[in-house]
Structure 1
């Protein structure tokens, strides 16, 4: 078949139409897909760069789910800690109720009456006031002189020996692991002064009751030991004893306060109407049990059990940071040493681990005896320690939560940046492409007109053969 011979003008215009049609097809494809680079043929550098950016964005998007689960796991543990703190606060309230209950089992040492009815008649004062006003040391030549209308009386501690610088008095108190000692010059000392000195100790209180009896009572439930002693102040110059001589007298008085041998004349418990062996033997708590404290035991133990139960229920998606589980949150798509992640090692939270023991009604090692004031103090300290530990753990979880949320927000923004960057490399500008297509349509129309004119020029040759 012979090739059709086209004139140069027709062929040029035809080529232009073909090129315009090809460009129109490309622009129409861009408008249809929204991309100016649809394959590596269009622009290999932009195409593969965009693909890499999109791949990374896709991988990071997948990690966002893990971050979200990790954040919820931390929040679940944090909420658990908040709940446990509330339970511990309730336990503190229980302890305070037990402590505010009037203790019925505090050890008390009660002496015999220091006064008589005759003294009350003679002085026209109450037995209590008569006893409190009596001098300690025998200052009237006889033992335990009675009070009269003109004389306060004394409780009969032997007067200092002739040639000495006076009398040194001492008290020794012990309650459980706590002890208190004090010494003072006996000159002008009264029973009231002894009461005030004991009340300074913090571990015991003293008072004279309406019967004129001297009482010493423990502030806690531990065995109470009380001793009252005296010693002469021996001095080379009785008018001006030296510090060393005074210290010697103090040591002797303290020794005598603890020496409960009835034959020791300077042990003065008996002068206060107390048993001479009250320091060595001590006074233990009575067997009276407070019903209020007993009722609070079950409440305390129920709250303690709930600590363990709440900790067990603080899991999310099978991970419980309050049960010692480990949480790992990946922050990038890499592996090995190039991977960035947050590892959180959980802690086993339980009443036992927090140092909160069970409450009981008797004295047992390692448990809180609600009938014992010292054990209640120990329970208070244990709860305070538990709160400190819980708040520290809560702070750690809060810090980890902040890191995880910050990385989650960063990853979302990074994914958006990657996708934007990838799109910038391959996406078409619809306005620009639309304008280009319109220009090509116009060019196509012009090319068709030019082709028509070129064809008309060829047809003019036929007129030469016309009749």
Structure 2
């Protein structure tokens, strides 16, 4: 049997039930921190937030791969820094070798160009007399015709009388693939002029010693072909010098003027200091190879020719965003730094040779240029990867924040709502009590 209640009680009870239901919903939002917990609450916001959170999670999942890629590039960059320092040490080793005088340069001394009698007459040293002498016959007579040369006197420097003063003198010096040639106006050319010209060649040096002898020394260890020649003009004189000059050659400015082109050969004497530096050079070279092998990260070595691919978004196919970094195989050989031996630096010829050590220095400079170029390339890729890493972190945060704005509850607002509902609930309970008392008043009639 149904129990009838008054309209007042029924209205108060319905209001109390509604308030209780609303309070439970607010309490649930406060407990979960979300105002949209299911699709029933707000289907648009619920599924949009779900999509945003899904993408945010995918991007956060890529951060580990980006981080590994960055570490791989940084490991390679540190490797290049280390190799650059080792190349610098190699340069120092070569400079130490260059600081020690080479012992195997081809050297030769000619005949004395001045005599004791000339020194007594001129009161000059044999060296000064020889340097001041003219090459040509100042008397106008070719020594090859009558064997006459003019000795120095108190008033004249004298001459070697090798060729007629009207002829042209030529000098030809060849070392390896390098040739230096020069011509002189014989009438005004002295031994000093010839010495200065030889020193300008870069492949040989010359000086007159205290005995009055002309000394010529190669700057390298190659055989030096050294010739003088004379002719009616520069072309003829140069041809004569190149061919050895036949009877017109003065060879080493020898007094008899019959020496053909001289060949200066290496003494084959090696510098002990340079020889000792060979092992140091090779040890440093080996360390370049070892360091390059150890410059990997997580099994990927960009200095070993490996490739690293860094993915920046969650898409696939043509919509995928990524950075491919192709490494280079770095080794001493690839950098042009070759193995040295006691007497030979392969690729640079002779380690005992000044000119070859210069080539070695040039090769090391080229290696540094290559390393700087690779370092610059890695630096640019590293900057891109780090920028994308920061962007991915920020984008993931933006997506998460956007999702939260759609479904998260405002704790302050919900707390105020709950407080209001609790107040209304108390008032409804009071109203229900009053309605109930009104019904009970009928009993007083009995």
Map 1:350-389 → 2, pairs under 5 A: 350-363=331-344, 366=347, 368-389=349-370
Q: What is residue 237 of structure 1 aligned with on the other side? A: none
More off after superposition, 335-344 vs 21-30: 335-344
Paired with 2:334 and 2:193, the residues of 1 have a C-alpha distance of: 48
Task: Check whether the contact 2:49–2:407 (CA below 8 A) recurs between aligned residues.
Answer: yes
Please, which of 291, 314, 324 is the counterpart of residue 295 of structure 2? 314
Task: Check whether the contact 2:344–2:350 (CA below 8 A) recurs between aligned residues.
Answer: yes
Deviation at 1:460, TM superposition (A): 2.2
Paired with 2:90 and 2:19, the residues of 1 have a C-alpha distance of: 87
Please, which of 153, 157, 164 is the counterpart of residue 162 of structure 2? 157
Paired with 1:275 and 1:327, the residues of 2 have a C-alpha distance of: 72
Q: What is residue 24 of structure 2 aligned with on the other side? A: 25
Paired with 2:434 and 2:135, the residues of 1 have a C-alpha distance of: 145
Q: 1:339 to 1:309 in 2, by over 3 A?
A: same
Q: What is residue 244 of structure 1 aligned with on the other side? A: none
Q: What is residue 150 of structure 2 aligned with on the other side? A: 145
- Secondary structure at the aligned position of 1:112 is classed as strand
Backbone CA RMSD of aligned residues: 1.6
Paired with 2:402 and 2:210, the residues of 1 have a C-alpha distance of: 95
Task: Check whether the contact 1:359–1:368 (CA below 8 A) recurs between aligned residues.
Answer: no
Paired with 1:367 and 1:107, the residues of 2 have a C-alpha distance of: 18
- Secondary structure at the aligned position of 2:187 is classed as coil
Map 1:395-406 → 2, pairs under 5 A: 395-406=376-387
Please list the CA deviations of residues 431-464 of structure 1 after superposition, one character each: whole Å capped at 9, or x if unmatched.
1111111111111111111111211222222233
Task: Check whether the contact 1:222–1:374 (CA below 8 A) recurs between aligned residues.
Answer: no
Paired with 1:348 and 1:313, the residues of 2 have a C-alpha distance of: 12
Q: What is residue 258 of structure 1 aligned with on the other side? A: 242
Please, which of 427, 431, 435 is the counterpart of residue 408 of structure 2? 427
Paired with 2:70 and 2:112, the residues of 1 have a C-alpha distance of: 73
Please list the CA deviations of residues 16-66 of structure 1 after superposition, one character each: whole Å capped at 9, or x if unmatched.
000000000000011111111111111111111111111111111111111
Please, which of 215, 240, 251 is the counterpart of residue 269 of structure 1? 251
Please list the CA deviations of residues 187-238 of structure 1 after superposition, one character each: whole Å capped at 9, or x if unmatched.
2221111111222222221111100001221122222111112223xxxxxx
Please, which of 305, 311, 332 is the counterpart of residue 330 of structure 1? 311
Q: How many residues align?
A: 439
Task: Check whether the contact 2:227–2:245 (CA below 8 A) recurs between aligned residues.
Answer: no
Q: 1:271 to 1:66 in 2, by over 3 A?
A: closer
Q: 1:392 to 1:271 in 2, by over 3 A?
A: closer
1:408 aligns with 2:389: yes
Q: TM-score under structure 1 normalisation? A: 0.91
Q: What is residue 236 of structure 1 aligned with on the other side? A: none
Q: What is residue 243 of structure 1 aligned with on the other side? A: none
Please list the CA deviations of residues 281-301 of structure 1 after superposition, one character each: whole Å capped at 9, or x if unmatched.
x21211101101100000000
Task: Check whether the contact 2:249–2:260 (CA below 8 A) recurs between aligned residues.
Answer: no
Q: What is residue 128 of structure 1 aligned with on the other side? A: 127
Paired with 2:303 and 2:356, the residues of 1 have a C-alpha distance of: 28
Paired with 1:439 and 1:73, the residues of 2 have a C-alpha distance of: 59
Paired with 1:157 and 1:404, the residues of 2 have a C-alpha distance of: 77
Q: Which runs of 5+ in 2 are unaligned?
A: none
Paired with 1:173 and 1:272, the residues of 2 have a C-alpha distance of: 17
Q: What is residue 460 of structure 1 aligned with on the other side? A: 441
1:94 aligns with 2:75: no
Paired with 1:28 and 1:17, the residues of 2 have a C-alpha distance of: 16
Q: What is residue 192 of structure 2 aligned with on the other side? A: 192
Q: What is residue 3 of structure 1 aligned with on the other side? A: 2
Q: What is residue 44 of structure 2 aligned with on the other side? A: 45
1:230 aligns with 2:230: yes
Paired with 1:173 and 1:367, the residues of 2 have a C-alpha distance of: 22
1:203 aligns with 2:187: no
1:289 aligns with 2:270: yes
Q: What is residue 240 of structure 1 aligned with on the other side? A: none
Please, which of 349, 367, 372 is the counterpart of residue 391 of structure 1? 372
